[in-house]
Structure 1
Amino acid sequence: MKAVCLISGGMDSSTLAYVAKDMGYDILALHTSYGQLTEAKELACAQKIAASLDALEFMHIPLTHLKVFGGSSLTDTNLKVHSHGEDEGEGKAAESAKSSANAGELPNTYVPFRNSNLLAIATSYAETRNADAIFIGVQSSDYAGYPDCRPEYIEAFQRVIDLGTSDSVHIKLMTPFVRMNKKQILEKGLRLGVPYEHTWSCYRNNENACGTCDSCYYRLKAFNEIGVEDPIPYEKAIVEINKKAPAKFKRLL
């Protein structure tokens, strides 16, 4: 079996690729650059993850139009990447995000229609390589407000794949993390031996991860909840790290 895995180089997508491999799929690694601030770091990490999995191919596709369109703090330098809790008060960002989602507002880190762009490319790639599945690491629990991470969106895109490909093609859209949180994803990755030292989650383009943006916050929070030290360096961490690892993870440190 073969699967196209969308690998950004971050924690979720890297874990996802290891899950696909563990399920018996040979990996066709697909990475996209869309002018995000950290695209060079993400590309380097994605390449290392693909190599660690002995991927059949590593396909890098530039999507420059997403930067031209703008509209996201990840691609537009005129928009500020906020620190976690900066606007709503420390410790209240998750609740605020959920309230914003209910009110129809979106985080400024949302890249308009990005996942649809990624999945369209992944479908073309999968069809040309006779792949059986596409894996994408969407998960909605920590990042409430992203419309293209919802289960109903995934169900709709599966229908697009079914209608838009050859009748002889049967590609399954796999989203094993869609109802999981960061802690659960990390626990699975630690058991599978994901090399998290070769992943990058930070929204900011610094030498070390900032430790204060939402992405860093949720990553550090997951490591803290499990009690495993994150192997990448941080400039500053707004989450106090508990370095005492539970017994079931000690062999992984």
Structure 2
Amino acid sequence: MTESTSKRAVVLVSGGMDSATAAYEAQAEGYDLYLLHTSYGQETEDKEYECAERLAEEVDAADFLRIETDHLAAIGGSSLTDDEMDIADADLDSESVPTSYVPFRNANLLAMAVSYAEANDCEAVFIGAHTEDFSGYPDCRPAFFDAFQGVVDAGTRDDTHVEIRAPFAELSKTDIAERGVELGVPYEDTWSCYRAESPACGTCDACAFRLKAFQNVGVRDPIEYERRPEYAD
């Protein structure tokens, strides 16, 4: 029996455009995809799960794993999981940490992804973080991913080699949209809105960055919005 020589990668998929593009990027690099989606009590978790599941079908994923966890919601501290905190309207020029930041979320998600990768002999974990993320989210900074790589190297078996990949870490969301259009990512099956499951509000940070990216590349965002403000530079 001949041992398979195919490459395998776990992709953290939120249901949004960045992680969908990361999945298509990993596939373009020749990886078989193992998609990991986490529901942690976020406002739009049902819609995000629906989109992530559809992505798994579209890329013919080798496996799709959904993990439901309530510990991030129980910990609180984020407008995404705490009903007593309002989701703020977009402020694209702000450099402060937004209320939508879920404390140390990416460390939690990456830890699960590395466990999933090690159990399935995957060589890489892809995450769709980018420059406009780490301007406000400390766990999206390249330095964080570099540090986490050290944790992975120290905390897995000696024969395990899992690379943390953030292919868009030095790119903007506009760059991601442009790359995704080139790769044929079905953005109509992705969701970014923090507030609503249909239609998207158009005014939260996630909607604003997404709309701005599509407007900058001259492509109409295919999902429905309650409002479509002009955010392009």
TM-score w.r.t. length of structure 1: 0.87
- Which residue number in structure 2 is paired with residue 17 of structure 1? 23
1:139 aligns with 2:137: no
Cα separation, partners in 2 of 1:147 and 1:173, compared to 1, 3 Å: same
CA RMSD, Structure 1 to Structure 2 (Å): 1.2
| Partner amino acid, structure 2, of 1:82 | A
Runs of 4+ in structure 1 displaced over 6 angstroms?
A: none
In the alignment, the residues of structure 2 paired with residue 143 and residue 155 of structure 1 have an alpha-carbon distance, to the nearest angstrom, of: 14
1:141 deviates by 2.4
Change (3 A) 1:142 1:30: closer
Tell me the residue number matched to 1:47: 53
Q: Is contact 2:47-2:197 (8 Å) kept? A: no
With over 3 angstroms needed to count, the CA separation of the structure-2 counterparts of 1:154 and 1:143, relative to structure 1, is: closer
Distance in 1 (CA, whole Å) between partners of 2:164 and 2:198 is 35
Q: What is aligned with 2:3? A: none
2:92 pairs with one of 74, 94, 99: 94
- Counterpart-to-counterpart distance in 2, 1:202 and 1:145: 17
Secondary structure at 1:80 match in 2: coil
SS of 2:38's equivalent? strand
Change (3 A) 1:43 1:221: same
Q: What does residue range 39-188 of structure 1 map to in structure 2 within 5 Å? A: 39-84=45-90, 93-96=91-94, 98=95, 100=96, 106-142=97-133, 144-188=135-179
Give the aligned residue type for 1:38: T
SS at match of 2:146: helix
**203-212 or 55-64, which deviates more:** 203-212
Whether contact under 8 Å (1:140, 1:146) holds in the other structure is no
Residue 140 of structure 1 deviates from its aligned partner by 2.7
Tell me the residue number matched to 1:4: 10
* CA distance in structure 2 between the aligned counterparts of 1:163 and 1:223, rounded to whole angstroms: 40
Residue 104 of structure 2 aligns to which amino acid in structure 1?
Answer: F
How far is the alpha carbon of 1:125 from its aligned partner? 0.4
Q: Is the 8 A contact 1:94 1:144 kept in 2?
A: no
Q: Distance in 1 between matches of 2:220 and 2:133?
A: 20
Q: Secondary structure at the match of 1:27?
A: strand
Q: CA deviation at 1:61?
A: 0.5
- SS for the counterpart of 1:141 is helix
Where structure 1 has 5 or more consecutive residues not aligned to the other structure, the ranges are 85-92, 101-105, 242-253
Offset at residue 240 of structure 1 (A): 6.6
Aligned residues: 226
1:34 corresponds to which residue?
40
Separation (CA, whole Å) in 2 of partners of 1:180 and 1:174: 13
| Secondary structure in 1 matching 2:10 | strand
Calculate the TM-score normalised by the size of structure 2: 0.94
